[in-house]
Amino acid sequence: MNNEVVFVLEPDAGRVTVEISQASGQAANDLAQDLGRRVDLNCAKPASDTRYLPVLQPHPATEDESKTDPFSIWLYRLYHNSVVDGPGRRSVIQTAGCSIRCRQCFVPQTHDRKNGALVPLSSILKEIISYGADHDGVTILGGEPFDQPEPVAELVSRLKDRGIHITVYSGYTIEQLIERRASSVHYILTHIDLLIDGPFIGSMRDGAGEYRGSRNQRIVGLTNQ
Ligand code: SF4
């Protein structure tokens, strides 16, 4: 097995992020011990001081919140300052619930939507906007975002109203998504900037390339601005 370790250096901010998902368990543990506490993210495990990865754990909507916003999504968590989930430094909205169930998935805890909470979009937008100056864009991943396409389409619409760059991960291929012929799916695909598509395949993990968990996954540039 390759021991591929990626160091992301940000001299202007004085930060180093280490991406160790392709390293052996022993190498990863040694690095984590040398550099500090490990924080597990999606298909990557950057070693970082938790100050740089603040996480919003979802809370169920209050009655007032549900009344004021008709759109909610099943959210597993929301975190900031990721440099492994798309270009630049990003805030990440991790949805809860995935019907695909790839073998060896890195985040099985996101498969059951009940491990997250139904959160109004207004709460999510408030959190994203509070970090607006500190990120280059927003990534929506899962779980599987296209398992709840209607509220995700509304989320994309509200983010795009604010001119935010959007990357979406899906375990479905773009061809499978287009084949659904659903208006919400079409809306998402015609308004986001990047789609990283396809299931995670453990045997294709080595050499997956930037932002991806396995070699079959593609970075699809969608020219929606
Ligand atoms: S689509 Fe993503 S979250 Fe779902 S099983 Fe595959 S890797 Fe895991």
CA of 173 from ligand 1 middle (Å) equals 12
Counting every residue written for the chain, the total comes to: 225
- CB of 97 closer than 6 angstroms to any ligand 1 atom: no
pLDDT in the model for residue 12: 66
Question: Is 122 contained in some domain?
Answer: yes
In this structure, how many other beta carbons lie within 10 angstroms of the beta carbon of residue 216?
15
Distance CA 30, CA 27 (A): 5
Q: How far lies 132's CA from each of 89, 162, 179, 214, in Å?
A: 11, 10, 34, 30
In a domain, 38, yes or no: no
Confidence class for position 31, pLDDT limits 50, 70, 90: confident
What distance in Å separates the CA atoms of residue 179 and residue 39, rounded to the nearest whole number? 37
How far is CA 145 from each of CA 44, 63, 74, 217, rounded to the nearest angstrom?
A: 18, 25, 9, 16
- Note whether 162 and 130 are within 8 A (CB): no
pLDDT in tens, 104-162: 898 999 999 999 999 999 999 999 998 776 678 999 999 999 999 999 999 999 999 99
Whole domain around residue 84: which residue ranges? 54-221
For residue 223, what pLDDT band results from cuts at 50, 70 and 90? Answer: low
- Tell me the H-state helices in 108-148: 121-130
Q: How far is the CA of 206 from the centre of ligand 1 (A)?
A: 17
| Residue 142 is assigned to a structural domain of this protein | yes
Q: Is the pLDDT of residue 194 over 90?
A: yes
In-domain check, residue 6 = no
E runs forming strands in 38-88? 55-56, 72-82
Average pLDDT, the chain: 83
Which residues on adjacent β-strands are paired with residue 169?
Answer: 196
Tell me, yes or no, whether 2 lies in a domain: no
Of 140, 143, 141, nearest to 98 by C-alpha is 143
Verify whether ligand 1 is closer than 6 Å to residue 200 (CB atom): yes
Among the atoms of ligand 1, which is closest to the Cα of residue 105?
8
CATH of the domain at 199: 3.20.20.70
Distance 172 CA to ligand 1 centre (A): 9
Domain for residue 176, yes or no? yes
User: At 116, which helix (H) or strand (E)?
Assistant: none
Flag whether pLDDT at 177 surpasses 80.
yes
Q: Give the Cα separation of 101 and 64 in Å (integer).
A: 35
Nearest CA to ligand 1 atom 8: 105
Which residue is associated with the tokens 């004021």?
68
| Separation between Cα atoms, residue 66 and residue 212, nearest integer Å | 35
| Burial class of residue 186 (count of CB atoms within 10 Å of its CB; 0-12, 13-18, 19+) | middle
76 close to ligand 1 (CB < 6 Angstrom): no
**Ligand 1 pocket: which of 98, 99, 112 to mutate (most atoms within 8 A of CB):** 98
Q: What is the pLDDT of residues 79-90, one digit of tens each?
A: 888 888 999 889
Number of structural domains (the chain) is 1
Is residue 18 in a domain? no
Task: Kindly give the residue spans of alpha helices, DSSP state H, lying in the chain.
Answer: 25-35, 63-68, 121-130, 149-161, 174-179, 183-189
Q: Is residue 12 part of a domain?
A: no
The single-letter DSSP state of residue 146 is G
